[in-house]
Amino acid sequence: MGLLSNSLLALLVTAGLVVAGEQCSPETTAFRKDWRALNAHERTEYIEAVWCLRRQPAHLPNNEYPGVRDRLDDFVATHINYTTAIHANALLLPWHRHFTYLWETALREECGYKGYVPYWNWPATTNLTEDPLFDGSPTSISGNGAYDPNEKPRCDPPYGCEAPGTGGGCVTSGPFKDFEVHLGPFNNSHAGPHATLPESAWDYNPRCLKRSFNQPILDRTNNEAAMKRLLDAPDMDGFLDVMDPSDKSHIGTHGAGHRTIGKDMTDVYSSPQDPAFMLHHAMIDRMWTLWQERDIDNRRNALNGTDVMYNPASAPLVTLDHVLNFGCLDRPRTVREVMDTRGHDYCYSYH
Ligand SMILES: *[C@@H]1O[C@H](CO)[C@@H](O)[C@H](O)[C@H]1NC(C)=O
Ligand SMILES: *[C@@H]1O[C@H](CO)[C@@H](O)[C@H](O)[C@H]1NC(C)=O
Ligand SMILES: *[C@@H]1O[C@H](CO)[C@@H](O)[C@H](O)[C@H]1NC(C)=O
Ligand SMILES: *[C@@H]1O[C@H](CO)[C@@H](O)[C@H](O)[C@H]1NC(C)=O
Ligand SMILES: [Cu+2]
């Protein structure tokens, strides 16, 4: 019996039928790193790989998606397409985990990148303009936008208004100074449970990348106490209440990270256009992974909510069998396939 299953396993391995996850061991697990833990060479390699993706041709057809100009835009368009199914609900974590993984895989397989997606360590970022990730130096992912005295306070009805950040204009320093965004902008207040994409969703609208750093939002929402609340959350409902509440009662660490960078990062549809997006989502994935690893039996498969934005009562609850779509980026995946960062196709974790 043992012999038989061993030779069967050997056969399956030879045939390439054994999924990578079954071979994931502590020795082969990749660890995604904090940007501040990368040396200058590693930081430059990541930056170069992002620019490389920008130079690769899109897979989406240009006649249907005129605003999609390159491989990076394939990711932006995919996120736009599924926006109202993957935010402020049960799918935020599973969908974005796989999205970040597909990005990492594209950097590695299509651009020869040797590393993994780094993450933006929120509570360690005590001064954005001096932070190695955002200081505008050649080894950062660029700095603030130029100061725009006319930037308006940001007002979202359930949360009230927030003072504008310290930028508001085009990013003027660092490797992404001349980085163009192509899609959007979208109207965030349009996003909701039953929103359909506007006619203009795929229009080509080239313009500079804009940011408006807002340190107070980060200090208030993504601090060490919030990290502790995430890790101590007794269940997924509690975890999401800190990360991305569906009831709009307050801003979660997910939304606050987007607002901390400001402007293009606050566009719920097209925010993956800012190179900060994937590092922010790697941090979100890190907090989820660390939470899961603290109590695997109870937390690995924990889900709470629906596949509709803000979890309307009419929407069914998401289960492990729920299918996640990734458009041109990948075949559909079940939620089950993405719950374990060391199972199925994955073999990575975080410290
Ligand atoms: C952040 O650093 C900049 C540049 O050194 C400085 O001007 C600014 O006052 C600092 N901000 C905070 C909140 O400490
Ligand atoms: C955004 O959408 C909301 C709700 O559909 C609408 O009331 C508002 O006028 C729109 N704003 C802009 C700038 O188009
Ligand atoms: C999600 O959390 C809410 C509030 O704690 C709870 O009532 C509900 O049963 C949970 N749903 C699932 C599927 O765990
Ligand atoms: C948008 O979603 C639909 C339905 O899943 C799919 O047919 C289409 O290819 C998607 N487009 C993009 C750009 O992902
Ligand atoms: Cu998103």
- Could you report the per-residue pLDDT of 36-56, keeping only the tens digit for each? 999 999 999 999 999 999 999
CA 217 to ligand 3 centroid distance, Å: 29
Residue 112 corresponds to which tokens in the numbers above?
């020869």
pLDDT at residue number 189: 79
- Across the range 216-235, mean pLDDT stands at 98
Beta strands in 10-74 (DSSP E): 30-32
Which residue, judged by its Cα, is nearest atom 10 of ligand 2? 187
Q: Give the Å distances, CA to CA, from 32 to 115, 279, 296.
A: 8, 10, 20
pLDDT at residue number 157: 67
pLDDT of 268 over the 90 cut: yes
CA 218 to ligand 3 centroid distance, Å: 28
pLDDT at residue number 190: 80
Q: Give the Å distances, CA to CA, from 38 to 28, 110, 135, 211, 263.
A: 20, 22, 15, 24, 27
pLDDT of 5 over the 70 cut: no
Question: Could you give the dihedral angle defined by the CA atoms of residues 137, 140, 142 and 147, in that order, rounded to the nearest 10 degrees?
Answer: -60
Task: Measure the CA–CA gap between 87 and 284, rounded to whole angstroms.
Answer: 13
**Count of alpha carbons within 13 Å of 175, Cβ hemisphere only?**
20
Residue 205 corresponds to which tokens in the numbers above?
């609208």
- Across the range 317-332, mean pLDDT stands at 98
Strands 30-32 and 145-147: unpaired
Task: Measure the CA–CA gap between 72 and 55, rounded to whole angstroms.
Answer: 8
Which residue, judged by its Cα, is nearest atom 8 of ligand 4? 327
- Across the range 92-120, mean pLDDT stands at 98
Residue with tokens 């293009």: 264
Task: Measure the CA–CA gap between 314 and 328, rounded to whole angstroms.
Answer: 29
Task: Measure the CA–CA gap between 162 and 298, rounded to whole angstroms.
Answer: 38
pLDDT of 9 over the 60 cut: no
CA 274 to ligand 2 centroid distance, Å: 23
- Across the range 170-180, mean pLDDT stands at 97
Q: Give the nearest ligand 4 atom to 68 CA.
A: 13
Amino acid at 140: S
Strands 333-334 and 323-324: antiparallel
> 86, 78, 53: which is closest to 326 by C-alpha?
78
pLDDT of 22 over the 90 cut: no
pLDDT of 17 over the 90 cut: no
Task: Measure the CA–CA gap between 128 and 133, rounded to whole angstroms.
Answer: 8
CA 312 to ligand 2 centroid distance, Å: 21
Q: Is the CB of 237 under 6 A from ligand 3?
A: yes
DSSP labels, 183-226 = S----GGG-STT----GGGG----EE-B----HHHHHHHSSHHH
CA 162 to ligand 3 centroid distance, Å: 31
Ligand nearest to the CA of 316: 3
Mean pLDDT, all residues of the chain = 93
SS3 337: helix
Question: Could you give the dihedral angle defined by the CA atoms of residues 122, 128, 133 and 136, in that order, rounded to the nearest 10 degrees?
Answer: 170
User: Of all residues in the chain, what percent carry a pLDDT higher than 70?
Assistant: 93
Q: Is the CB of 304 under 6 A from ligand 3?
A: yes
Q: Is the CB of 296 under 6 A from ligand 3?
A: no
Size of the chain in residues = 351
SS3 146: strand
Is residue 290 within a helix (H) or strand (E), and if so which, with residue range? helix 276-294
Assigned CATH class of 34-322: mainly alpha
Ligand nearest to the CA of 186: 2
Most ligand 3 atoms within 8 A of CB, residue of 246, 301, 304 to mutate: 304
> 278, 297, 277: which is closest to 339 by C-alpha?
297
pLDDT of 69 over the 80 cut: yes
Residue 279 corresponds to which tokens in the numbers above?
């590092």
Measured in degrees and rounded to the nearest 5, phi and psi for residue 111 equal -130, 10
pLDDT at residue number 248: 86
- Could you report the per-residue pLDDT of 183-216, keeping only the tens digit for each? 999 988 788 888 999 999 999 999 999 999 999 9
